[in-house]
Amino acid sequence: MSIFVCRVVDAQGRRAVFRRDAAHEAAILRDLNQEGYLILSISPASSVAELPVHKLKPAVVLEFTQILATLMANGLRLKDALSIARRIGTGTVGPLLQHVEERVGKGDSLYESLSASRSSFSPLYLGLIRIGEKAGDLATIFQRLSDYLAGRQALRDKMINSLVYPVFVLAVAVIGVVMLATLVLPKLTGMIGSLNPRAAALYQQNVAGFQLGAGLFVLILCALGFLIGLSFRIRARNAAWAIRFDAFMLRIPGLGRFLQYSFGLNFSFAMETLLTSGYSLEEALAESSWVVANLQYRECLMRARDNVVKGILLSEALREEKIFPQVVVGWMAVGEGAHDLVKSYAQLRAYYQKETDKLYARFTNLAEPALIVTVGIILITLILTFITPIFTMLGELL
More confident residue, 324 or 23: 324
Q: 264-321 pLDDT, tens per residue? A: 888 888 888 788 877 888 888 887 887 787 888 888 888 888 899 888 999 999 998 8
- 24 inside domain: yes
Give the separation between CA 154 and CA 152, rounded to whole angstroms: 5
User: How many domains are contained in the chain?
Assistant: 2
Most confident listed range (7-16, 19-28, 46-55, 336-345): 336-345
- 291 inside domain: yes
In order of 174, 263, 303, the CA distances from 306 in angstroms are: 55, 20, 5
| Same domain as 170, residue 42 | no
- 329 inside domain: yes
- 97 inside domain: no
Write down which residue in 33, 49, 65 finishes a domain. Answer: 49
- 333 inside domain: yes
- 149 inside domain: no
| Same domain as 298, residue 175 | yes
Check pLDDT > 70 for residue 186: no
- 328 inside domain: yes
116 and 52 Cβ atoms separated by less than 8 Å: yes
306 and 236 Cβ atoms separated by less than 8 Å: no
Check pLDDT > 50 for residue 49: no
In order of 96, 256, 287, 290, 343, the CA distances from 350 in angstroms are: 32, 20, 21, 20, 11
289 and 263 Cβ atoms separated by less than 8 Å: no
- 54 inside domain: no
Structural domain of 20: 1-49
- Where residue 182 sits, what CATH number does that domain have? 1.20.81.30
| Same domain as 354, residue 217 | yes
Q: What pLDDT is recorded for position 394?
A: 58
Q: What pLDDT is recorded for position 48?
A: 38
pTM: 0.68
Strands 38-44 and 15-22: unpaired
Check pLDDT > 80 for residue 75: yes
Q: 346-396 pLDDT, tens per residue? A: 899 889 888 888 887 787 778 778 877 887 887 787 777 766 666 665 565
**DSSP H or E segment with residue 9:** strand 2-9
